[in-house]
Homo-oligomer: A and B are copies of this chain.
Amino acid sequence: MQPLRVGVCGLGTVAQGVLEVLARNADLIERRAGRRIVVTRVASRRARTEVDLRGATFSLDVADIPGHPDVDVVVELIGGDGLAVELISSALECGKPVVTANKAAIARHGDRLRETAQRQGVALNFEAAVAGGIPIIASLTQGLAANRIDWLAGIINGTSNFILTGMSDGGADFASALAEAQRLGYAEADPTFDVEGIDAAHKLAILCALAFDTGFRFDAVYTEGISRITPEDIEYARRLGYRIKHLGIARRTVAGVEARVHPTLVPDTHLVANVNGVMNAVLVHGDATGSTLFYGAGAGGLPTASAVVADLVEIARATRCAAPPPAYPAPLEAPAMLPIEAATSAHYLRIPSLDRPGVFARVATLLSERDISIESALQRAQAIHAESQNAWVPIVIVTQPVAERVIQEAVAAVQALPDVVGEVVRIRVEDLADA
Protein backbone atom coordinates (compact mmCIF):
# COMPACT_ATOMS: atom_id res chain seq x y z
CA MET A 1 0.00 0.00 0.00
CA GLN A 2 1.39 3.41 -1.01
CA PRO A 3 1.81 5.91 1.82
CA LEU A 4 -0.44 8.98 1.89
CA ARG A 5 1.86 11.88 1.00
CA VAL A 6 1.08 15.09 2.84
CA GLY A 7 2.09 18.64 1.91
CA VAL A 8 1.91 21.14 4.77
CA CYS A 9 1.47 24.90 4.22
CA GLY A 10 2.76 26.77 7.26
CA LEU A 11 5.36 25.94 9.89
CA GLY A 12 3.97 27.42 13.10
CA THR A 13 3.10 25.61 16.34
CA VAL A 14 0.35 23.45 14.85
CA ALA A 15 2.41 22.43 11.82
CA GLN A 16 5.27 21.48 14.12
CA GLY A 17 2.79 19.49 16.20
CA VAL A 18 1.61 17.62 13.09
CA LEU A 19 5.21 16.70 12.20
CA GLU A 20 5.80 15.54 15.77
CA VAL A 21 2.62 13.49 16.19
CA LEU A 22 3.00 11.78 12.80
CA ALA A 23 6.58 10.85 13.66
CA ARG A 24 6.02 9.86 17.29
CA ASN A 25 2.93 7.69 16.68
CA ALA A 26 3.76 6.58 13.14
CA ASP A 27 3.16 2.84 13.64
CA LEU A 28 -0.02 3.24 15.61
CA ILE A 29 -1.40 5.74 13.06
CA GLU A 30 -0.46 3.43 10.19
CA ARG A 31 -2.47 0.58 11.74
CA ARG A 32 -5.52 2.78 12.26
CA ALA A 33 -5.27 4.40 8.82
CA GLY A 34 -4.39 1.24 6.90
CA ARG A 35 -1.39 2.96 5.33
CA ARG A 36 1.59 5.12 6.23
CA ILE A 37 1.02 8.89 6.47
CA VAL A 38 4.17 10.82 5.53
CA VAL A 39 4.81 14.55 5.26
CA THR A 40 6.75 14.92 2.00
CA ARG A 41 6.76 18.71 1.66
CA VAL A 42 6.54 21.71 3.97
CA ALA A 43 6.33 25.31 2.82
CA SER A 44 6.41 28.51 4.82
CA ARG A 45 7.07 32.11 3.89
CA ARG A 46 9.58 32.20 6.71
CA ALA A 47 12.40 29.67 7.08
CA ARG A 48 12.65 28.04 10.51
CA THR A 49 15.92 26.20 10.52
CA GLU A 50 15.39 25.13 14.13
CA VAL A 51 12.45 22.85 13.25
CA ASP A 52 13.12 19.14 12.58
CA LEU A 53 11.28 18.50 9.30
CA ARG A 54 11.49 14.70 9.75
CA GLY A 55 12.71 14.21 6.18
CA ALA A 56 10.24 16.55 4.43
CA THR A 57 11.49 18.93 1.72
CA PHE A 58 11.20 22.61 2.60
CA SER A 59 10.19 25.45 0.31
CA LEU A 60 9.68 29.17 0.88
CA ASP A 61 6.84 29.22 -1.66
CA VAL A 62 3.57 27.98 -0.18
CA ALA A 63 1.97 28.08 -3.63
CA ASP A 64 4.26 25.14 -4.48
CA ILE A 65 2.28 22.73 -2.34
CA PRO A 66 -1.21 22.33 -3.88
CA GLY A 67 -0.07 21.21 -7.33
CA HIS A 68 3.11 19.38 -6.31
CA PRO A 69 3.28 15.82 -7.71
CA ASP A 70 4.66 14.46 -4.40
CA VAL A 71 1.60 15.69 -2.49
CA ASP A 72 -1.63 13.63 -2.27
CA VAL A 73 -3.33 15.77 0.38
CA VAL A 74 -2.79 19.39 1.41
CA VAL A 75 -2.75 20.56 5.04
CA GLU A 76 -3.37 24.31 5.26
CA LEU A 77 -2.03 25.83 8.49
CA ILE A 78 -1.32 29.42 7.47
CA GLY A 79 -4.57 30.85 8.83
CA GLY A 80 -6.52 33.96 7.90
CA ASP A 81 -8.94 34.42 5.05
CA GLY A 82 -6.61 35.65 2.33
CA LEU A 83 -3.80 33.54 0.84
CA ALA A 84 -4.97 30.52 2.85
CA VAL A 85 -8.33 30.47 1.07
CA GLU A 86 -6.56 30.59 -2.30
CA LEU A 87 -4.36 27.66 -1.30
CA ILE A 88 -7.33 25.55 -0.16
CA SER A 89 -9.23 26.41 -3.32
CA SER A 90 -6.32 25.63 -5.57
CA ALA A 91 -5.66 22.26 -3.87
CA LEU A 92 -9.34 21.27 -4.24
CA GLU A 93 -9.28 22.34 -7.90
CA CYS A 94 -6.27 20.02 -8.35
CA GLY A 95 -8.53 17.22 -7.05
CA LYS A 96 -6.65 16.91 -3.77
CA PRO A 97 -8.31 16.53 -0.39
CA VAL A 98 -7.60 19.34 2.06
CA VAL A 99 -7.27 19.42 5.84
CA THR A 100 -7.31 22.81 7.52
CA ALA A 101 -7.38 24.32 11.01
CA ASN A 102 -8.51 27.65 9.55
CA LYS A 103 -11.76 28.77 11.21
CA ALA A 104 -11.85 32.18 9.47
CA ALA A 105 -11.56 30.59 6.01
CA ILE A 106 -14.31 28.04 6.68
CA ALA A 107 -16.65 30.39 8.56
CA ARG A 108 -16.41 33.07 5.86
CA HIS A 109 -15.86 31.05 2.66
CA GLY A 110 -17.08 27.59 3.65
CA ASP A 111 -20.01 27.45 1.23
CA ARG A 112 -17.86 28.18 -1.79
CA LEU A 113 -15.07 25.83 -0.64
CA ARG A 114 -17.56 23.04 0.05
CA GLU A 115 -19.03 23.49 -3.41
CA THR A 116 -15.56 23.11 -4.95
CA ALA A 117 -14.81 20.04 -2.82
CA GLN A 118 -18.11 18.37 -3.78
CA ARG A 119 -17.68 19.17 -7.46
CA GLN A 120 -14.18 17.66 -7.35
CA GLY A 121 -15.31 14.70 -5.22
CA VAL A 122 -12.64 15.26 -2.57
CA ALA A 123 -12.74 15.79 1.18
CA LEU A 124 -12.40 19.16 2.91
CA ASN A 125 -11.87 18.39 6.60
CA PHE A 126 -11.59 20.97 9.40
CA GLU A 127 -11.86 19.14 12.74
CA ALA A 128 -9.02 21.36 14.02
CA ALA A 129 -10.92 24.59 13.26
CA VAL A 130 -13.18 24.27 16.31
CA ALA A 131 -12.16 23.38 19.86
CA GLY A 132 -8.70 21.99 19.02
CA GLY A 133 -8.29 18.44 20.27
CA ILE A 134 -12.00 17.83 20.95
CA PRO A 135 -13.53 15.77 18.12
CA ILE A 136 -16.62 17.96 17.95
CA ILE A 137 -16.92 18.12 14.15
CA ALA A 138 -16.87 14.32 13.84
CA SER A 139 -19.29 14.04 16.74
CA LEU A 140 -21.78 16.39 15.07
CA THR A 141 -21.49 14.86 11.60
CA GLN A 142 -21.14 11.20 12.60
CA GLY A 143 -21.48 10.29 16.28
CA LEU A 144 -24.69 12.31 16.66
CA ALA A 145 -25.83 11.81 13.03
CA ALA A 146 -29.11 10.23 14.15
CA ASN A 147 -30.18 13.37 16.01
CA ARG A 148 -32.01 16.51 15.14
CA ILE A 149 -29.86 19.00 17.06
CA ASP A 150 -32.04 21.35 19.11
CA TRP A 151 -29.33 23.64 20.45
CA LEU A 152 -25.67 23.82 21.34
CA ALA A 153 -23.60 26.03 23.61
CA GLY A 154 -19.86 26.15 23.94
CA ILE A 155 -16.84 27.70 25.58
CA ILE A 156 -14.93 27.88 22.31
CA ASN A 157 -12.35 30.57 22.96
CA GLY A 158 -9.70 29.54 25.46
CA THR A 159 -8.26 33.04 25.82
CA SER A 160 -11.56 34.53 26.97
CA ASN A 161 -12.19 31.63 29.30
CA PHE A 162 -8.69 31.99 30.79
CA ILE A 163 -9.28 35.72 31.39
CA LEU A 164 -12.73 35.19 32.96
CA THR A 165 -11.34 32.37 35.14
CA GLY A 166 -8.54 34.68 36.29
CA MET A 167 -11.03 37.45 37.11
CA SER A 168 -13.25 34.96 38.90
CA ASP A 169 -10.55 33.23 40.97
CA GLY A 170 -8.35 36.18 41.75
CA GLY A 171 -10.70 39.16 41.58
CA ALA A 172 -8.44 40.69 38.92
CA ASP A 173 -9.92 43.24 36.56
CA PHE A 174 -10.10 42.64 32.83
CA ALA A 175 -6.91 44.53 32.00
CA SER A 176 -4.73 42.65 34.52
CA ALA A 177 -6.22 39.28 33.61
CA LEU A 178 -5.55 40.03 29.95
CA ALA A 179 -1.98 41.05 30.72
CA GLU A 180 -1.46 37.76 32.58
CA ALA A 181 -2.87 35.83 29.60
CA GLN A 182 -0.49 37.71 27.31
CA ARG A 183 2.47 37.01 29.62
CA LEU A 184 1.66 33.26 29.48
CA GLY A 185 1.23 33.25 25.70
CA TYR A 186 -2.53 32.57 25.87
CA ALA A 187 -3.39 35.96 24.31
CA GLU A 188 -1.92 37.78 21.33
CA ALA A 189 -0.30 41.22 21.57
CA ASP A 190 -3.44 42.46 19.78
CA PRO A 191 -6.10 40.42 21.57
CA THR A 192 -9.10 41.79 19.62
CA PHE A 193 -9.99 38.58 17.77
CA ASP A 194 -10.22 36.63 21.02
CA VAL A 195 -11.61 39.08 23.56
CA GLU A 196 -14.13 40.72 21.23
CA GLY A 197 -15.59 37.33 20.32
CA ILE A 198 -14.66 37.21 16.64
CA ASP A 199 -12.74 33.94 16.96
CA ALA A 200 -15.67 32.38 18.86
CA ALA A 201 -18.10 33.68 16.22
CA HIS A 202 -16.05 32.00 13.47
CA LYS A 203 -16.30 28.72 15.34
CA LEU A 204 -19.99 29.12 16.11
CA ALA A 205 -20.72 29.77 12.42
CA ILE A 206 -19.03 26.43 11.63
CA LEU A 207 -20.94 24.54 14.34
CA CYS A 208 -24.20 26.10 13.07
CA ALA A 209 -23.56 24.97 9.51
CA LEU A 210 -23.02 21.38 10.67
CA ALA A 211 -25.74 21.20 13.31
CA PHE A 212 -28.50 23.15 11.59
CA ASP A 213 -27.72 23.13 7.86
CA THR A 214 -27.56 26.92 7.76
CA GLY A 215 -24.57 27.11 5.48
CA PHE A 216 -21.50 28.96 6.74
CA ARG A 217 -22.93 32.28 7.91
CA PHE A 218 -20.33 34.19 9.95
CA ASP A 219 -22.09 37.39 8.90
CA ALA A 220 -25.24 36.34 10.80
CA VAL A 221 -23.64 35.61 14.17
CA TYR A 222 -24.32 38.22 16.86
CA THR A 223 -21.04 38.93 18.62
CA GLU A 224 -20.18 40.48 21.99
CA GLY A 225 -16.81 40.14 23.74
CA ILE A 226 -15.75 40.13 27.38
CA SER A 227 -13.89 43.43 27.64
CA ARG A 228 -16.69 45.17 29.55
CA ILE A 229 -17.03 42.47 32.25
CA THR A 230 -15.96 43.76 35.67
CA PRO A 231 -14.92 41.93 38.86
CA GLU A 232 -18.06 43.37 40.47
CA ASP A 233 -20.34 41.62 37.98
CA ILE A 234 -18.49 38.36 38.55
CA GLU A 235 -18.93 38.73 42.31
CA TYR A 236 -22.64 39.69 42.16
CA ALA A 237 -23.26 36.81 39.78
CA ARG A 238 -21.51 34.47 42.22
CA ARG A 239 -23.76 35.66 45.08
CA LEU A 240 -26.79 34.92 42.91
CA GLY A 241 -25.51 31.40 42.15
CA TYR A 242 -23.91 31.93 38.74
CA ARG A 243 -20.55 32.02 36.96
CA ILE A 244 -19.92 34.30 33.98
CA LYS A 245 -18.69 32.44 30.89
CA HIS A 246 -18.15 33.59 27.32
CA LEU A 247 -20.43 31.31 25.31
CA GLY A 248 -21.33 30.69 21.72
CA ILE A 249 -24.98 29.64 21.66
CA ALA A 250 -26.98 28.42 18.68
CA ARG A 251 -30.55 27.27 18.79
CA ARG A 252 -33.11 26.03 16.30
CA THR A 253 -36.45 27.83 16.67
CA VAL A 254 -39.63 27.72 14.63
CA ALA A 255 -38.63 30.99 12.95
CA GLY A 256 -35.05 30.05 12.17
CA VAL A 257 -31.66 29.66 13.84
CA GLU A 258 -30.34 31.98 16.56
CA ALA A 259 -26.56 32.24 16.75
CA ARG A 260 -24.95 34.48 19.34
CA VAL A 261 -21.66 34.91 21.11
CA HIS A 262 -21.72 36.86 24.37
CA PRO A 263 -20.82 36.79 28.07
CA THR A 264 -23.39 34.63 29.84
CA LEU A 265 -24.39 33.83 33.41
CA VAL A 266 -24.53 30.05 33.89
CA PRO A 267 -25.81 28.27 37.06
CA ASP A 268 -22.71 27.46 39.12
CA THR A 269 -23.60 23.78 39.49
CA HIS A 270 -23.61 23.22 35.72
CA LEU A 271 -20.61 21.40 34.22
CA VAL A 272 -20.10 24.30 31.79
CA ALA A 273 -19.67 26.68 34.75
CA ASN A 274 -16.77 24.50 35.92
CA VAL A 275 -14.78 24.53 32.69
CA ASN A 276 -11.85 26.72 33.63
CA GLY A 277 -8.62 28.19 32.29
CA VAL A 278 -7.90 27.69 28.60
CA MET A 279 -10.06 24.57 28.37
CA ASN A 280 -12.96 24.38 25.91
CA ALA A 281 -16.27 22.54 26.11
CA VAL A 282 -19.23 22.15 23.79
CA LEU A 283 -22.66 21.08 25.02
CA VAL A 284 -24.91 19.63 22.32
CA HIS A 285 -28.59 18.87 22.80
CA GLY A 286 -29.97 16.29 20.35
CA ASP A 287 -33.53 15.01 20.21
CA ALA A 288 -32.41 11.42 20.85
CA THR A 289 -29.31 11.80 23.06
CA GLY A 290 -30.43 14.71 25.21
CA SER A 291 -27.44 16.76 26.43
CA THR A 292 -23.95 15.59 25.58
CA LEU A 293 -20.81 17.49 26.56
CA PHE A 294 -17.42 17.39 24.90
CA TYR A 295 -14.52 18.84 26.89
CA GLY A 296 -10.82 19.23 26.24
CA ALA A 297 -7.93 21.41 25.16
CA GLY A 298 -9.18 24.00 22.67
CA ALA A 299 -5.85 25.17 21.37
CA GLY A 300 -2.13 24.46 21.49
CA GLY A 301 0.16 22.77 19.01
CA LEU A 302 -0.32 19.13 19.97
CA PRO A 303 -4.09 19.09 20.64
CA THR A 304 -4.78 20.92 17.37
CA ALA A 305 -2.33 18.63 15.57
CA SER A 306 -4.27 15.66 16.98
CA ALA A 307 -7.36 16.92 15.15
CA VAL A 308 -5.44 17.56 11.91
CA VAL A 309 -4.01 14.04 12.00
CA ALA A 310 -7.45 12.51 12.76
CA ASP A 311 -8.67 14.20 9.56
CA LEU A 312 -5.68 12.76 7.68
CA VAL A 313 -6.45 9.27 9.06
CA GLU A 314 -10.02 9.57 7.78
CA ILE A 315 -8.76 10.57 4.32
CA ALA A 316 -6.16 7.78 4.33
CA ARG A 317 -8.87 5.23 5.17
CA ALA A 318 -11.31 6.54 2.56
CA THR A 319 -8.81 6.85 -0.30
CA ARG A 320 -7.26 3.39 -0.09
CA CYS A 321 -7.86 1.25 -3.17
CA ALA A 322 -8.82 -1.83 -1.16
CA ALA A 323 -11.40 -1.93 1.64
CA PRO A 324 -10.47 0.25 4.61
CA PRO A 325 -8.95 -1.48 7.63
CA PRO A 326 -11.29 -2.30 10.49
CA ALA A 327 -11.85 0.63 12.82
CA TYR A 328 -10.36 -1.49 15.61
CA PRO A 329 -7.74 -3.77 14.05
CA ALA A 330 -6.82 -6.96 15.89
CA PRO A 331 -3.76 -6.38 18.09
CA LEU A 332 -0.42 -7.30 16.54
CA GLU A 333 1.10 -7.91 19.93
CA ALA A 334 -1.34 -7.32 22.75
CA PRO A 335 0.20 -5.83 25.90
CA ALA A 336 -0.12 -7.79 29.14
CA MET A 337 -3.24 -7.15 31.21
CA LEU A 338 -1.94 -6.55 34.72
CA PRO A 339 -3.42 -7.98 37.92
CA ILE A 340 -4.78 -5.51 40.47
CA GLU A 341 -1.71 -6.16 42.67
CA ALA A 342 0.35 -4.23 40.10
CA ALA A 343 -1.74 -1.07 40.50
CA THR A 344 -0.70 1.94 42.57
CA SER A 345 -3.29 4.24 44.15
CA ALA A 346 -3.70 6.59 47.02
CA HIS A 347 -6.18 5.13 49.55
CA TYR A 348 -8.88 6.33 51.89
CA LEU A 349 -8.94 4.24 55.08
CA ARG A 350 -11.69 4.36 57.68
CA ILE A 351 -10.59 2.57 60.85
CA PRO A 352 -13.17 2.02 63.62
CA SER A 353 -11.11 2.29 66.80
CA LEU A 354 -11.45 2.39 70.55
CA ASP A 355 -11.39 5.97 71.78
CA ARG A 356 -8.16 5.78 73.77
CA PRO A 357 -4.72 7.42 73.60
CA GLY A 358 -2.08 6.21 71.16
CA VAL A 359 -4.34 4.46 68.66
CA PHE A 360 -3.64 6.93 65.88
CA ALA A 361 0.08 6.71 66.59
CA ARG A 362 0.02 2.90 66.40
CA VAL A 363 -1.79 3.05 63.05
CA ALA A 364 0.62 5.69 61.74
CA THR A 365 3.59 3.55 62.79
CA LEU A 366 2.27 0.51 60.94
CA LEU A 367 1.88 2.64 57.82
CA SER A 368 5.24 4.33 58.11
CA GLU A 369 7.00 0.97 58.59
CA ARG A 370 5.74 0.15 55.09
CA ASP A 371 6.77 3.55 53.67
CA ILE A 372 3.15 4.64 53.35
CA SER A 373 2.83 8.42 53.76
CA ILE A 374 -0.28 10.09 55.11
CA GLU A 375 -1.73 12.80 52.84
CA SER A 376 -4.48 13.91 55.21
CA ALA A 377 -6.40 12.54 58.17
CA LEU A 378 -9.38 13.11 60.42
CA GLN A 379 -8.28 12.03 63.90
CA ARG A 380 -11.14 11.07 66.15
CA ALA A 381 -13.42 12.11 63.31
CA GLN A 382 -16.53 13.78 64.62
CA ALA A 383 -19.06 10.95 64.76
CA ILE A 384 -21.69 11.19 62.05
CA HIS A 385 -24.86 9.37 61.13
CA ALA A 386 -25.35 6.01 62.84
CA GLU A 387 -21.86 6.10 64.34
CA SER A 388 -22.95 8.60 66.98
CA GLN A 389 -24.35 5.70 69.01
CA ASN A 390 -21.07 3.78 69.12
CA ALA A 391 -18.49 3.49 71.86
CA TRP A 392 -15.72 3.86 69.27
CA VAL A 393 -14.47 6.58 66.94
CA PRO A 394 -13.40 6.33 63.35
CA ILE A 395 -9.88 7.26 62.30
CA VAL A 396 -9.97 8.46 58.69
CA ILE A 397 -6.75 8.61 56.66
CA VAL A 398 -5.94 9.41 53.03
CA THR A 399 -2.55 7.97 52.04
CA GLN A 400 -0.11 8.97 49.33
CA PRO A 401 -0.07 6.60 46.33
CA VAL A 402 1.10 3.13 47.31
CA ALA A 403 1.26 -0.25 45.59
CA GLU A 404 -1.83 -2.45 46.02
CA ARG A 405 0.27 -5.26 47.49
CA VAL A 406 1.69 -2.94 50.18
CA ILE A 407 -1.64 -1.39 51.18
CA GLN A 408 -3.19 -4.86 51.44
CA GLU A 409 -0.52 -5.90 53.96
CA ALA A 410 -0.80 -2.62 55.83
CA VAL A 411 -4.59 -2.90 56.15
CA ALA A 412 -4.22 -6.47 57.42
CA ALA A 413 -1.74 -5.25 60.06
CA VAL A 414 -4.01 -2.37 61.11
CA GLN A 415 -6.98 -4.72 61.21
CA ALA A 416 -5.09 -6.93 63.65
CA LEU A 417 -4.52 -4.12 66.18
CA PRO A 418 -6.45 -4.77 69.40
CA ASP A 419 -7.67 -1.14 69.29
CA VAL A 420 -9.47 -1.71 66.02
CA VAL A 421 -13.02 -2.80 66.69
CA GLY A 422 -14.56 -3.15 63.26
CA GLU A 423 -13.74 -3.78 59.63
CA VAL A 424 -11.25 -1.33 58.12
CA VAL A 425 -12.80 0.27 55.01
CA ARG A 426 -10.46 0.92 52.10
CA ILE A 427 -11.43 2.94 48.99
CA ARG A 428 -9.03 4.00 46.26
CA VAL A 429 -8.35 7.68 45.56
CA GLU A 430 -7.51 8.97 42.06
CA ASP A 431 -6.73 12.58 41.22
CA LEU A 432 -7.41 12.08 37.48
CA ALA A 433 -4.93 14.87 36.80
CA ASP A 434 -3.12 15.10 33.51
CA ALA A 435 0.23 13.63 34.46
Distance to closest chain B CB from A420 (angstroms): 16
Judging by beta carbons under 8 Å apart, are B265 and A339 in contact? no
Interface string of A217-240 (1 = CB under 8 A from B): 100111000001111110111011
State which of B217, B323, B331 has its C-beta within 8 Å of the C-beta of A121: B323
Size of the chain A interface, CB-CB below 8 angstroms: 144
Judging by beta carbons under 8 Å apart, are B290 and A297 in contact? yes
Which residue of the partner chain B has the closest CB to A270?
B432
Judging by beta carbons under 8 Å apart, are B310 and A242 in contact? no
- Find chain B residues with CB under 8 A from A221 CB: 337
Judging by beta carbons under 8 Å apart, are A313 and B145 in contact? yes
Is residue A7 contacting chain B, with contact meaning CB distance below 8 A? no
**Max chain B C-beta neighbours (<10 A), residue from A215, A260, A290, A425:** A290
Interface string of A12-56 (1 = CB under 8 A from B): 000001000110110011001100000000000000000000000
- Copies of the chain in the assembly: 2
- Find chain B residues with CB under 8 A from A394 CB: 232, 236
Of A77-85, A193-201, A381-389, A405-413, which binds chain B?
Answer: A381-389
Is residue A361 contacting chain B, with contact meaning CB distance below 8 A? no
Judging by beta carbons under 8 Å apart, are B330 and A215 in contact? yes
- 29 CB contacts below 8 A, A to B, read A25-B148, A114-B328, A114-B330, A123-B326, A134-B289, A138-B138, A138-B142, A142-B313, A146-B313, A213-B331, A213-B332, A213-B335, A220-B337, A222-B339, A231-B385, A232-B350, A236-B381, A244-B427, A256-B336, A258-B342, A260-B340, A266-B430, A271-B274, A271-B275, A271-B295, A287-B302, A292-B295, A293-B294, A294-B294
Is residue A348 contacting chain B, with contact meaning CB distance below 8 A? yes
State which of B127, B271, B332 has its C-beta within 8 Å of the C-beta of A271: B271
Which residue of the partner chain B has the closest CB to A32?
B145
Which residue of the partner chain B has the closest CB to A250?
B337
Q: Tell me whether A143 and B153 are in contact in the complex, defined as CB-CB below 8 angstroms, given that A215-B334, A256-B338, A428-B265 are known contacts.
A: no
Judging by beta carbons under 8 Å apart, are B135 and A143 in contact? yes
State which of B240, B270, B306 has its C-beta within 8 Å of the C-beta of A286: B306
- Find chain B residues with CB under 8 A from A258 CB: 338, 340, 342-343
Which residue of the partner chain B has the closest CB to A252?
B335
Give the CA-CA distance A266 to B24 in the complex, in Å: 32
Judging by beta carbons under 8 Å apart, are B398 and A428 in contact? no
Which residue of the partner chain B has the closest CB to A343?
B258
Give the CA-CA distance A197 to B428 in the complex, in Å: 15
Judging by beta carbons under 8 Å apart, are B240 and A432 in contact? no
Which residue of the partner chain B has the closest CB to A236?
B396
Judging by beta carbons under 8 Å apart, are A350 and B431 in contact? no
Which residue of the partner chain B has the closest CB to A345?
B264
Distance to closest chain B CB from A385 (angstroms): 5
- Find chain B residues with CB under 8 A from A303 CB: 288-290
Which residue of the partner chain B has the closest CB to A115?
B330
Which residue of the partner chain B has the closest CB to A398?
B240
Give the CA-CA distance A247 to B430 in the complex, in Å: 10
Is residue A63 contacting chain B, with contact meaning CB distance below 8 A? no
